[in-house]
């Protein structure tokens, strides 16, 4: 078989469109239903040096949603309960209220970042985070739900862990003192915290059922398994830098 699909697209929930499209959504330019979930399997696990193209699809579930949840959607800000200024950033449908597919400059939930939001006193997104969001909008702002997103042979801090933590935890634990006085914004602090609180940390990211819901991290939803595995390997191998 010489044919290898670059990625697989599956349409889920097509029958729910008529219910959910009743409300006014800013993004009217796209011609796919709002509840469509594109399940994408980027070939990122291909061993380096084999010449296989690595997908450049931006994964909404693992790259974009965690940023909006972590940096904008915490309690008191843009979660469902607080919905400051009517803005909620904790799901695809809510985020699309302020994003226009293929139109970065008209995507208010992108252009405001680093300008008014997040507030100066809160952790700020990095240039790399902004570049991901921009690219995602330019790719059509799809609800890409990726599996197979990690190369689990890579688990050094600079190779993987730093990005996982800044994307998923940075909005709350990325500037000092950090939520619950836990700062995970640099190598030394993260290593110090995790090594001193290993089981608390591991149980928390694994959503251990016996934990209080408020202790499961990140709060808006468990990370994909392969990212948790990368963190576990980083810990098991003595926190390689």
Rg (CA), the chain: 18
Burial 139-165 (b: 16+ CB within 10 A, else e): ebbbbbbbbbbbbeeebbbeebbbbbb
Q: CB-based contacts of 57: which residues, under 8 Å, 6+ apart?
A: 7, 40, 42, 139, 144, 146
Cis upstream peptide for 160 (omega within 30°): no
Min separation Cβ 158 and ligand HEC, Å: 17
| Sole binder of ligand HEC in the list 28, 120, 214, 236 (CB under 6 A) | 214
- Binding segment toward ligand HEC, per CB under 6 A, in 25-33, 103-111, 153-161, 171-179: 171-179
- For ligand HEC, the closer of residues 70 and 162 by Cβ is 70
- Binding segment toward ligand HEC, per CB under 6 A, in 10-18, 21-29, 93-101, 179-187: 179-187
Distances (CA, A) of 52 to 46, 48, 135: 7, 8, 22
- How many whole angstroms separate alpha carbon 104 and alpha carbon 154? 32
89 lies in the site for ligand HEC, by CB under 6 A: no
| Sole binder of ligand HEC in the list 36, 55, 61, 74 (CB under 6 A) | 74
| Sole binder of ligand HEC in the list 43, 114, 159, 219 (CB under 6 A) | 219
180 lies in the site for ligand HEC, by CB under 6 A: yes
64 lies in the site for ligand HEC, by CB under 6 A: no
> What is the separation of C-alpha 185 from the centre of its chain, rounded to a whole number of angstroms?
16
204 lies in the site for ligand HEC, by CB under 6 A: yes
On whether the CB atoms of residues 110 and 117 are closer than 8 A, the answer is: no
Contact residues toward ligand HEC (CB under 6 A) are 70, 74, 168-169, 171-173, 179-180, 182, 200-201, 204-205, 214-215, 217-219, 223
């Amino acid at each position: 078989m010489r044919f290898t699909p670059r990625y697989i697209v599956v349409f889920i929930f097509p029958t729910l469109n008529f219910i959910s499209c009743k409300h006014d959504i800013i993004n009217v330019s796209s011609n796919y239903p709002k509840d469509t979930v594109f399940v994408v399997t980027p070939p990122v696990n291909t061993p380096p040096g084999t010449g296989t193209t690595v997908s450049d699809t931006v994964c909404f579930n693992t790259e974009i949603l965690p940023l909006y949840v972590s940096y904008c959607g915490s309690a008191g800000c843009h979660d469902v309960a607080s919905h400051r200024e009517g803005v909620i950033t904790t799901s695809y449908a809510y985020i699309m209220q302020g994003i226009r597919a293929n139109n970065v400059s008209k995507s208010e939930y992108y252009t405001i970042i680093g300008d008014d939001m997040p507030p100066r006193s809160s952790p700020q997104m990095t240039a790399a985070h902004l570049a991901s969001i921009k690219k995602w909008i330019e790719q059509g702002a799809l609800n890409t739900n990726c599996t197979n997103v990690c190369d689990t042979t890579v688990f050094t801090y600079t190779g993987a862990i730093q990005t996982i933590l800044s994307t998923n935890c940075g909005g709350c634990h990325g500037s000092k003192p950090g939520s619950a006085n836990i700062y995970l914004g640099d190598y030394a602090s993260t290593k110090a915290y995790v090594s001193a609180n290993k089981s608390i940390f591991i149980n928390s990211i694994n959503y251990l059922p016996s934990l209080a819901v408020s202790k499961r991290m990140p709060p808006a939803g468990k990370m994909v398994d392969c990212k948790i595995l990368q963190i576990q390997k980083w810990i098991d191998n003595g926190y390689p830098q």
